[in-house]
A and B are shown apart, each in its own frame.
Chain A
Amino acid sequence: MDKKTEALNKYFGFSSLRAYQEPIVDKLLEGTDTLAVLPTGSGKSICFQLPALMKNGLTLIVSPLLSLMDNQLQELRAKHIKAAAAYNSFMSPEEKSRVLRRLSSLKLLYISPEALSLPFIVERLKEVNVVMMVVDEAHCISQWGHEFRTDYLKIGPVREAVGNPCMAAFTATATPEVQLDIKKQLRMEEPAEYIHSVDRVNIALFVQRCTSEREKKKELVRIIQNAPGPGLVYVTSRKKCEELKKLLQEESAHQVEAYHGGLDNEARLMIQQQFLHGDLDVVVCTNSFGMGLNKADVEFVLHYHFPKDAESYIQEIGRAGRDGRQAWATVLYLEEDIIIPQMLMESELPPVDELDAAWETAASSRQEETTADLINKLGWTETAARFLAFYLEKHPRKRKSELLEDLEEKVQQRRFEKEKKLKVMVQWLENSNTCRRRLLLQVFGEALMKRPDPCCDICGSTIPVRKQPGNEKEKVTAPWEMRLQELFFGKEREHE
């Protein structure tokens, strides 16, 4: 057995990698910079976890998503891999310093981009042997991408500061333009590139046009009733989440729960586990659910509200059909819903008429507190505040008037980009004569090579109807004595 297979067996209990994982692992073991565009849920994490565990030294994994960090850490812990930790702003000071103390004994450190840009962290990282840097959701580094995060721009300089380790960038969705930007910003030199098609051939695509909220609800109930799941229903607000959950609990025969940021940690974890375990059929959720959730048999993704761009759409439907079985995605399209992504877009940009006030606020706060002050004093969203804080930090000497003018232009530019993306999304939804798959691939500069069957509503496919006996819900709840026994000893020990 070669070393790679041995390590794979030891840490993950597999005997071989999948065909597309193999070359990425090899390149990273060699120390070659690598850019990988892989569809979500394709087992991307093992591509960097395995080399990281085999190398002598520390691998930094920059990830913007807390839930993703948590999930990966949990999975590693479940596999008894101890040399992994996370560092982010949601940890307590004690937890943070514990992680920093054991840095030299770690192999994987999941770190948020904000934390990575802190000077004392960089100093501490210089003291240990950083052998590799992995950037997850790498499209965030590009302002042409759909989720530009200014903190990502600091990754390149940090790379240099810690001695230019090998760099790996991963993303699920990147247009050719964004790919170029990633390579430039991360200072990658002649990287190995593995660009997979964004097309998920086993997911059939549907759009259903509705003319009112009422009709949308009716459609939702009808579809869910005929689709036993497991499935996800995406909405944009907590309130809607709860409302639709109740509706589906009453009107369908399935086990339905809601998942959103308003739930306490315990309930969130519980619902996630119940869904993974198969206790739940449908989860109505905001788009934070499903990130990094490794559930292979999700049969459908239903968008009750449509996403703000094609990239988000691809990412979200990508949570279906990971086991390779036939799955489907549908959008219930209501024209008025466009207000939701529009408002979201506005909230993520610094308001142009508040730039002056923001400058004053920033001038009176310490650099590391600028973002927090903008959020608290002006009520900006985190994204908007970071945007501004970044530009102020980048141009400390510019005159106020010049800076504000500059900023306003930047904001307008961002808005223009975002509007363009939203327009593409809406055009895709309104399209009624071209294959949806072909059109979607076009956005990512790809051509449709082979049309799968089923393909999309325009190609004549329909949402599958799978009637399920309607009394699933009538499961008897066991008396507590029996439940307690099963908790401890499992179901076999019945007559002991």
Chain B
Amino acid sequence: MLFQEAMILIALKRLRGERTDASAYHLLSGKRSSQTITDAKWFQSKDLFGALPKLDKLQFERITASLYHRGWIEPGGVPAESISASMRPWEKLVEEAGFDGWAYRDTGHQFWKRIALLIQTLSHLYQRKKQFVPIIQDHASQQWVKQKLSSWGEGKYTAMKKLYEEMADCLRDMTELQAFIFVYKLTGAEILGKTTEQISRLQHREQEEVDYLLQGSIHTLIKNAENQPETVLHECLDTGGTPELTVTAQKTLDFINKGFTLEAVARSRGLKVSTIEDHFVEIAGEIKEFSIDQLVPPKQQEAIRQAAASLDTFKLKTLKEQLDADTTYFAIRLALAKGGQKSGQKNRSIE
């Protein structure tokens, strides 16, 4: 089983046949849309969000078609029982990887660039080698490293040793493979980093897998750093994380904050009501302070959550059939987005 196949199968298993195959594609490719973001949350699949960033729609369709053809996916859109044993090692890999594209995709890229350039720069200074071509060409990261170095001043080698210890500690808790990938990607004064392809050859793994594991190790480092304010790694983070909203949902939120109703937002922005509804669902899931009580009476919210829990499904159609006739799809989505955290999550178990 190839990495991409395994990830598609795992995504379909998590979606339990309650979403279309296209939802699995959007999830894996990490499309930042309201629907995908709520899917990632409801189906506890933040660790798959953007797991295959380079996968295009055509490739996805080709792979899925072949999976159906081989009988690995059943007509209902879920993986066949016969394949579950071969999926298990991959599920374990996902579980251990620490990947969280939903929370850390963009932070991860930035964090990596800073760390990689910082290490390259420090090691050159430490080993008294002045000239080098920065392995990270991004201007913002270069500025950041420059500022960091001048703020540390004479203490830079102390910081460097601390950074080394912190990283070694954190890498020791990862799988051997992930630590290897992370370290071999880095460049120092005497050794140059390896490309993803070179690492994949050294470790006899696929490139997509190496990429996923690298991102996973970066996300793990970030998670650790977030909880340890005293560390150098913590200094490499951007402080004050704001909730991740899509740009367009953020705009809708700006309108809501100005007192616009849903319909008024749609009119002012010249967008369809259904699009604005998507934004509402996304905002409800992301912003804790955002109340949906005006839109869905609390009693109805409770009924929806209970139905979802007792039927153990997020399939909107099934829920709608079970609920009062005046419960709209929009109400169901809002309630689940809001409540997915509390009632939903506890009743579901991750396989």
Contacts and interface: CB of A to CB of B under 8 A. Distances in A.
Interface of A: 70, 74, 77-79, 95, 257, 265-267, 269-271, 273-274, 277, 279, 477, 480-481, 483-491
Contacts of B123: 487-490
30 contacts: A70-B137, A78-B130, A78-B133, A257-B198, A265-B137, A266-B195, A269-B133, A269-B135, A270-B135, A270-B187, A270-B192, A273-B133, A273-B192, A274-B192, A277-B192, A477-B202, A480-B176, A483-B183, A483-B184, A484-B167, A486-B190, A486-B191, A487-B123, A487-B183, A487-B186, A488-B122, A488-B164, A490-B123, A490-B126, A490-B188
A50 B137 CA distance: 25
Nearest to B120: A487
A70 B197 CA distance: 24
A10 to B, nearest CB: 14
Contacts of A491: 190
Interface of B: 119, 122-123, 126-127, 130-135, 137, 139, 160, 164, 167-168, 171, 176, 179-180, 182-184, 186-198, 202
Nearest to B135: A269
Contact of B193 (A79, A270, A481, A484): A270
A464 B65 CA distance: 53
Contacts of B130: 78
Given A267-B196, A270-B187, A483-B191, 12 more contacts: A74-B134, A78-B131, A78-B133, A269-B137, A270-B193, A273-B187, A480-B171, A484-B186, A488-B122, A488-B164, A489-B123, A491-B190
Contacts of A485: 164
Pick the 8 closest A-B CB pairs, nearest first. Answer: A487-B188, A78-B131, A480-B183, A267-B195, A490-B127, A480-B179, A480-B180, A488-B164
Contact of B135 (A257, A273, A480): A273
A122 B158 CA distance: 49
Given A279-B192, A477-B202, A484 B133 contact: no
Given A267-B196, A480-B179, A480-B183, A487 B133 contact: no
Contact of A270 (B160, B180, B189, B194): B194
A477 to B, nearest CB: 6
A486 B168 CA distance: 12
B135 A490 contact: no
A179 to B, nearest CB: 34
Nearest to A269: B135
Contacts of A490: 123, 126-127, 188-190
Nearest to B184: A483
A273 B193 CA distance: 9
A249 B57 CA distance: 32
